[in-house]
Each structure stands twice: as structure tokens, then as C-alpha cells.
């Protein structure tokens, strides 16, 4: 029998070449994307400048000197707002109880703005009977303050447009639009709502924050929600109840009481600077009774799941905890367990440590069965090798049938080894959603990490290394080390190839932890800490099971006893046997036909 002890030279060369090609393609397209983006930005800036100029001329609104533009402020315990006279827009929104990340101090010690310094521009467009377009973003509004309410008033072509802002006692800003005299000049078509929004960086880890910034919206009378995190949004057939631009831990939402129709949106990454992503949205709002009298609400909120639920508008769906069972695991299990443990006054890092232990205790019966199966496979390996040697000259189908017969007689169910992996998949993906989106972990430090929702970068490089970046995360490095140790301890139980020419997969098992380092290096350090603890516990469990719980001699005796017992063939095993027998019969008939033709 030909034995394959590893990847041969050609396979290693092919794997290395393929890896280089993939990395090369990745860098090439990243550079092309950055170059295309810069060119696109230049084009858009020229186009936007021309559009503003054209709209200003259309509306007969002259250029307004900065000194004539009035700005007023509103404030409550949660928000500080600035409303600008040009366009009557919210020009600044600051979160009073949160701070933004400062790269110079490596701390969250800067004011956290969701809107600031012209990062947001929104307004309405009305079509006149003479074909001109009124764009409220170009109009000069005059403010009037009355307590917690500001009324912004502008006049154009004999019509009056008012924006009425009222700051509530939480994260809401009531926004009413009222017109007078619009009926005399409007062509009667619906108004267009336009919102251009440049999301400002607030977190450590630009790429991670970009990945968690996206459109989210509700429709069907708050019955359904959807999101778009990459390309263009186009919703022509539904009415949006609210539209949110979600950041990693905060969100800006505009809700329309009558809804937005014919919605389109676009988003683009920003590679450098204070903005991380550019969003643009356009939708229509009905004009009823010839005048535009509509009610809206702005929400500027942290992504706290209890707060989001309190509004009863499906805002909790903005928090990306995962779909289906993955979201269920986070909402029902991980969030509640974290809240319970953190209520004891324990540091966040040790809360994660205890969470890991709880998960391992719950999964321990499954892990025991998995390791017992591995031990049984190891015991019967000589019999498997004997079958391979005996039927080395037979066809692969026959050899596989005899191998399965050995497993069946020994009472070994190979499929049982898949169960632990299947059960842990939802947990695995749930954690990738939990740690970067858990607001309570934001800014919580632990050992090497200043923020468990971002990477730790104690080890910094003077330059950026491809794929790895400009730092090396200690938590990611420690996690990779224990994953390699765990792989070494479990690789011995992996069955060798049973068919000639099949490669040995063991060397590839060692590649996975190393590649995982490149991924974890820029992810939340809390995630790396969790998997470091998890794999360390796995190593301890293996040692305990191997040295104190499982006895190979007893397992061997159990297997021999199983062979003497009558076997009840399961439905799946019966189906597999029948399929193999049918395939073997077809192969025999094909060989017979070939002989007859000769």
C-alpha cells in the first residue's frame, strides 16, 4: 500500500504559488479600488459644486455671506445640537455621555459627534410650475428659539417654508415641516428628500468600523427590516418607515410618519481622513392638500439593545447580532449572560473569562463524546490499515465498503464526530457578532488592551506589513499559539488517507491557526481573549480525558464486545450501503460491457 505521510514537493509549491497569487490579487484590487475612489471623489466634488451653483441660480438665492448665517443650539442630558441657518439643517450632533477615540492618546477622550462640520446635508426638493426646483439646502432660514423648540423660517418665490425642531428629553428630535403658499407655485408632484451623510470616525480600528457602518431600514408598517452594507440600495416597491445610518456603536435615524417611497441609496468607503464612509440617500414624501405638512423624527442613539427596544419601532434590528439561530444565541444567551456576570462588578475581561467557562461546561458532554470517538478511531486504526492492505488492489468502492463494515461492527459512528462541530458553528459566528457590537464592552480595558472591542497594539511597527497591518496584537498572538498546541494534540487522532493518491490533510491543519492570526490581529481583542481561554480549556479537557477519564484498554474491550452483538443498521447507514452497492453494481456492468465490446 502506498503511504502518504504529508504534502509532496509539488503540492507545497502549488499551494505557495496559489497563496501568492491570491495575496497579489488582493493588493492589486485594493490599490485599484483606492485609485478609482480618489478619481471618483474628484469627479463628485466637481459635480456637487456645479449642482449647488445650478440650484442656487434656479432658486434665485444669491450666495450668502457667512456672517449672515445664524446658528442656534439645543441641548438635553443626552444630546447637544446645532442648527444652521443655511438649509435650516442640523449641522452638529454631539453625544454628551460618550467620547470618540483619539489616536494620539490611544483613549476615548474626544467629543463624539455624529454630525459636525458639514458632514451631513439634508433637505427637500419641490418642483415649481415653471420647471424650476426649490432645494431647501440652499435657502437661508431665520431661527426663532422658544424653550426647547427652534423654528427655522425661509421664503422663496412667495412661499414660506418652516422647519420646527423640538428636542425631547432623550435621544429624539421632533422635526416638522410646514409650508404656506407652496400650492400657488408647486406643480403638485411629491417632494424629494435628499440626505448626504459622511460618517465620522469614532472608534479605534478604521477597517472594523467601516465594516460595521451600513444602511438599515424598516418597511411594511414596521413589520420588516433590511440592511445594505456594501453596494447600492434600491427599494422602489416598498414604503420605508425609517432609515438609519448605522455606525459600529451609534446610529442616526430619520423616521417619516407617512413614509419614504422610491428609495435609492449609495455608500462608498473613505480610505483616509476623519470620515470613514460616505452615504447618500434619496426618497419621495407625499404632498397632501397642495401644501407640504409632514412630521418626522430624528433619533441619535447608542446601540444599546434595551434602549432600542424601548421605542417599539424595531430599532433593535439595527444591532447586527446575526440572523436566525445566530441572532437568537446572542440575544437570548450571550447578552443576558454578559449582563448578569457584569452586574457582579467584575472587570469586563474576567466576565469574558467566566462566559467562556460557562460555554465549555454546557458543551462538555458533547466534547467528551467527541474525544471518546477519537479514541475509538485510534484503537481500530490497525484494523482499518489491515483492510486497506487487504483490498489495496480492489476498486475504491469495495475498499470503502469494507472500511465501513469495520466501523459498523466496532460500534463506531463516524457521523457522531460532526455533531460537535455543527453545534459550535452558531456559537462561533455569534461571537464574531457579539464582541465588536457590544456597547457595554466599548472602552473597557483589560491587560494589554485599552478597548476590548478593538485590537490591542502594544507591539507597533514603523511601517505597515501586508495583510498584518502596522501592529501585532498580543491577544491574537497568544490565541494563535494555543490553537497550534491544540492542533498538535488533536492531529494525532486524525485518520491517515485510506486511498492511494489522497493527500494527507494534517499539514493543512497547522496552516489554519497561522492564517487566523492575520484575521484576529485587527479584530476585537475581546474575541481573541475569548478564543485564547476557550482553546486553553480545550487543552486541559483533552489532558484530563486522556489521562483520567478514557482508558484505551477499556475502549478496546468495549469494541470487541460490540463486535459480538447483533447490529441494527440505521436508516442513514442502510441508505449509504444501498447507494454504494448500487454504484458498485453499475461499475461492474460497465466493466462487463467494455469486455464484451472487446
CA–CA gap between residue 434 and residue 339 (Å, rounded): 13
Mean pLDDT of 467-475: 88
Q: Which of 289, 320, 351 is the last residue of a domain?
A: 320
- Answer yes or no: do 498 and 416 share one domain: yes
Q: Which of helix, strand or coil describes residue 133?
A: strand
Compute the mean pLDDT over every residue in the chain, rounded to the nearest whole number.
Answer: 81
**pLDDT level of residue 567 (50, 70, 90 thresholds):** low
Q: Which of 320, 338, 367 is the last residue of a domain?
A: 320
Most confident of 90-99, 513-522, 568-577: 90-99
Mean pLDDT of 452-466: 88
- Answer yes or no: do 284 and 339 share one domain: no
- 461 vs 16, more confident: 461
- Answer yes or no: do 164 and 300 share one domain: yes
Instruction: Match 507545497 to its residue by C-alpha cell.
Output: 12
Q: Helix axis angle, 506-520 relative to 525-544, nearest 10°?
A: 150
Task: Tell me the Ramachandran region of residue 314: left when phi exceeds 0, alpha when psi lies from -120 to 50, beta otherwise.
Answer: left
> Which residue, among 196, 217, 185, 157, has the nearest Cα to 292 in the 3D structure?
185
**Backbone phi, psi, residue 84, to 5°:** -95, 140
> Which residue, among 123, 47, 165, 162, has the nearest Cα to 281 in the 3D structure?
123
Q: Where are the alpha helices (DSSP H) in 156-203?
A: 182-185
pLDDT > 90? residue 496: no
The answer to the question of residue 438 being in a domain is: yes
- Answer yes or no: do 366 and 269 share one domain: no
Lowest mean pLDDT among 188-192, 294-298, 506-510: 506-510
- Answer yes or no: do 375 and 467 share one domain: yes
The answer to the question of residue 587 being in a domain is: no
- Predicted local confidence at residue 426, as pLDDT: 85
- 598 vs 385, more confident: 385
Instruction: List the beta bridge partners of residue 294.
Output: 177
- Answer yes or no: do 219 and 358 share one domain: no
Q: Which of 258, 285, 320 is the last residue of a domain?
A: 320
The answer to the question of residue 537 being in a domain is: yes
Task: List, in order, residues 6 or more apart from 524 with CB less than 8 Å away.
Answer: 208, 435, 436, 441, 452, 453, 454, 455
**pLDDT level of residue 6 (50, 70, 90 thresholds):** very low
pLDDT tens-digit readout, 209-238: 999 999 999 999 999 999 887 778 899 899
The answer to the question of residue 474 being in a domain is: yes
Mean pLDDT of 426-434: 87
- Answer yes or no: do 307 and 415 share one domain: no
- Predicted local confidence at residue 593, as pLDDT: 73
- Answer yes or no: do 342 and 296 share one domain: no
pLDDT > 80? residue 583: no
Provide the residue range defining the domain that includes 378. Answer: 327-567
Q: Which of helix, strand or coil describes residue 389?
A: helix
- Answer yes or no: do 1 and 112 share one domain: no
Lowest mean pLDDT among 326-340, 428-442, 492-506: 492-506
C-alpha cell at 66: 457667512
- Predicted local confidence at residue 420, as pLDDT: 64
Most confident of 143-157, 456-470, 530-544, 549-563: 143-157
pLDDT tens-digit readout, 315-324: 999 998 887 7
- Predicted local confidence at residue 7, as pLDDT: 39
- 41 vs 234, more confident: 234
Answer positive or negative: Cα dihedral of 335, 338, 342, 344.
positive
CA–CA gap between residue 48 and residue 70 (Å, rounded): 24
CB atoms within 10 A of CB 112: 21
pLDDT > 80? residue 430: yes
- Answer yes or no: do 461 and 514 share one domain: yes
The answer to the question of residue 586 being in a domain is: no
- 369 vs 86, more confident: 86
**Cα radius of gyration (the chain):** 32
Dihedral of the CA atoms 72, 75, 81, 82 (nearest 10)? Answer: 10
- Answer yes or no: do 9 and 143 share one domain: no
What is the helix, strand, coil percentage profile of the chain, to 5? 45, 30, 25
User: Is the Cβ–Cβ distance between 162 and 83 less than 8 Å?
Assistant: no
The answer to the question of residue 597 being in a domain is: no
- Predicted local confidence at residue 587, as pLDDT: 67
Instruction: Match 484575521 to its residue by C-alpha cell.
Output: 519
Q: Which of helix, strand or coil describes residue 124?
A: strand
Q: Which of helix, strand or coil describes residue 231?
A: coil
The answer to the question of residue 167 being in a domain is: yes
User: Is the Cβ–Cβ distance between 178 and 149 less than 8 Å?
Assistant: no
**Domain CATH code at residue 265:** 2.70.98.90
Lowest mean pLDDT among 94-98, 198-202, 371-375: 371-375
Task: List, in order, residues 6 or more apart from 573 with CB less than 8 Å away.
Answer: 404, 408
Lowest mean pLDDT among 332-341, 407-416, 505-514: 407-416
CB atoms within 10 A of CB 94: 19
Percent of the chain whose pLDDT exceeds 70: 75
- 250 vs 496, more confident: 250
User: Based on the structure, what is the number of domains in the chain?
Assistant: 3
pLDDT > 80? residue 396: no
pLDDT > 60? residue 501: no
- Predicted local confidence at residue 41, as pLDDT: 44
CB burial of residue 497 (10 Å; 0-12, 13-18, 19+): middle
- Answer yes or no: do 468 and 515 share one domain: yes
Task: List, in order, residues 6 or more apart from 345 with CB less than 8 Å away.
Answer: none
The answer to the question of residue 592 being in a domain is: no
**pLDDT level of residue 558 (50, 70, 90 thresholds):** low
Amino acid at each position: 500500500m502506498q503511504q502518504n505521510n504529508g504534502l509532496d514537493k509539488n503540492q507545497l509549491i502549488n499551494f505557495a504559488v496559489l497563496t501568492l497569487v491570491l495575496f497579489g490579487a488582493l493588493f492589486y484590487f485594493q490599490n485599484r479600488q483606492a485609485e478609482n475612489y480618489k478619481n471618483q471623489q474628484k469627479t463628485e466634488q466637481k459635480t456637487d459644486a456645479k449642482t449647488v451653483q445650478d440650484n442656487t441660480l434656479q432658486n434665485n438665492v444669491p450666495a450668502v455671506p457667512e456672517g449672515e448665517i445664524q446658528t442656534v443650539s439645543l441641548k438635553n442630558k443626552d444630546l447637544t445640537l446645532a442648527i444652521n441657518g443655511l438649509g435650516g439643517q442640523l449641522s452638529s450632533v454631539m453625544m454628551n455621555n460618550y467620547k470618540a477615540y483619539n489616536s494620539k492618546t490611544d483613549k476615548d477622550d474626544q467629543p463624539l459627534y455624529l454630525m459636525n462640520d458639514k458632514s451631513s446635508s439634508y433637505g427637500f426638493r419641490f418642483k415649481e410650475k415653471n420647471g424650476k426646483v426649490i432645494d431647501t439646502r440652499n435657502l437661508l432660514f431665520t431661527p426663532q428659539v422658544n424653550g426647547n423648540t427652534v423654528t427655522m423660517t425661509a421664503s422663496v418665490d412667495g412661499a414660506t417654508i418652516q422647519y420646527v425642531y423640538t428636542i425631547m428629553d432623550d435621544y429624539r428630535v421632533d422635526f416638522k415641516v410646514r409650508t404656506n403658499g407652496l400650492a400657488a407655485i408647486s406643480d403638485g408632484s411629491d417632494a424629494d428628500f435628499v440626505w448626504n451623510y459622511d460618517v465620522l470616525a469614532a472608534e479605534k480600528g478604521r477597517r472594523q468600523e467601516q465594516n460595521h457602518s451600513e444602511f438599515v431600514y424598516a418597511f411594511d408598517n414596521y413589520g420588516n427590516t433590511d440592511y445594505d452594507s456594501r453596494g447600492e440600495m434600491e427599494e422602489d416597491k416598498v414604503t420605508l418607515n425609517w432609515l438609519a445610518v448605522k455606525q459600529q456603536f451609534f446610529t442616526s435615524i430619520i423616521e417619516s410618519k407617512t413614509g419614504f417611497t422610491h428609495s435609492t441609496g449609495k455608500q462608498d468607503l473613505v480610505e483616509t481622513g476623519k470620515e470613514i464612509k460616505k452615504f447618500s440617500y434619496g426618497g419621495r414624501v407625499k404632498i397632501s392638500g397642495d401644501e407640504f405638512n409632514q412630521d418626522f423624527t430624528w433619533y441619535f442613539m447608542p446601540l444599546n439593545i434595551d434602549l432600542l427596544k424601548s421605542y417599539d419601532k424595531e430599532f433593535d434590528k439595527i444591532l447586527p447580532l446575526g440572523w436566525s439561530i445566530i441572532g437568537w444565541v446572542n440575544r437570548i444567551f450571550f447578552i443576558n449572560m454578559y449582563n448578569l456576570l457584569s452586574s457582579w462588578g467584575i472587570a469586563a475581561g474576567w466576565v469574558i473569562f467566566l462566559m467562556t467557562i460557562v460555554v465549555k461546561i454546557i458543551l462538555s458532554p458533547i466534547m467528551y463524546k467527541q474525544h471518546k470517538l477519537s479514541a475509538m478511531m485510534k484503537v481500530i486504526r490497525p484494523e482499518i490499515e489491515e483492510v486497506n492492505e487487504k483490498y489495496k488492489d480492489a476498486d475504491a468502492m469495495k475498499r470503502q465498503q469494507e472500511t465501513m463494515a469495520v466501523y459498523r461492527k466496532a460500534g463506531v459512528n463516524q457521523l457522531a464526530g460532526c455533531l460537535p462541530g455543527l453545534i459550535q458553528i452558531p456559537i462561533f459566528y455569534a461571537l464574531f457578532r457579539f464582541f465588536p457590537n457590544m456597547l457595554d464592552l466599548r472602552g473597557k480595558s483589560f491587560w494589554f488592551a485599552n478597548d476590548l472591542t478593538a485590537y490591542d497594539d502594544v507591539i507597533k511597527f514603523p511601517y505597515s506589513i501586508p495583510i498584518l497591518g502596522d501592529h501585532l496584537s498580543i491577544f491574537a498572538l497568544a490565541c494563535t499559539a494555543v490553537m497550534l498546541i491544540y492542533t498538535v494534540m488533536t492531529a494525532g487522532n486524525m485518520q491517515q488517507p485510506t486511498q492511494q493518491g489522497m493527500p494527507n490533510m494534517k499539514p493543512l491543519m497547522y496552516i489554519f491557526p497561522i492564517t487566523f492570526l492575520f484575521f484576529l490581529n485587527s479584530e476585537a481583542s475581546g474575541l481573541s481573549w475569548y478564543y485564547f481561554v476557550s482553546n486553553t480549556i480545550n487543552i486541559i479537557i483533552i489532558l484530563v480525558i486522556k489521562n483520567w477519564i478514557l482508558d484505551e484498554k477499556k475502549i478496546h474491550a468495549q469494541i470487541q464486545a460490540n463486535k459480538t452483538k447483533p447490529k441494527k443498521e440505521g436508516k442513514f447507514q442502510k441508505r449509504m450501503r444501498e447507494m454504494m452497492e448500487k454504484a458498485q453494481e453499475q461499475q461492474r456492468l460497465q466493466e462487463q460491457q467494455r469486455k464484451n465490446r472487446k
